[in-house]
Amino acid sequence: MDNLSYDAREILIPAGWKPINEVDLTATVKLLEAMGYQVFDSVIDALSVFGGVEYKFKHPDGSLETFIFSPEEAVGDYYEKEDFEEFEA
């Protein structure tokens, strides 16, 4: 991940991310495919490096932002692929 900006690294590293992170996505891919999603290689590449870490950062206005880079958190048990079909081209 040599192509990350200094600012990105300033957020990611304190959150626990390391450039050598490698997350096992077997269960995540199975979950997404069972819900009807097609999991592209680029998604697997990104999630295997950034997935599972809780990121916290401060906006310029001082407010805090927290998010977990996790498909399981994003879709939970609620969203199926058809819920997003209106957004697809």
Q: What are phi and psi of 40, to 5 degrees?
A: -80, 155
Helix boundaries (H) for 1-89: 6-12, 26-34, 41-50, 71-75
| Per-residue pLDDT at 46 | 84
Please list the ranges in the chain whose pLDDT falls under 50.
Answer: none
Chain centroid, CA 36 distance in Å: 18
pLDDT tens, residue by residue, 66-86: 877 777 776 665 555 566 666
- Rounded Cα distance between 12 and 69, Å, is 11
The full set of domain ranges for the chain reads: 6-87
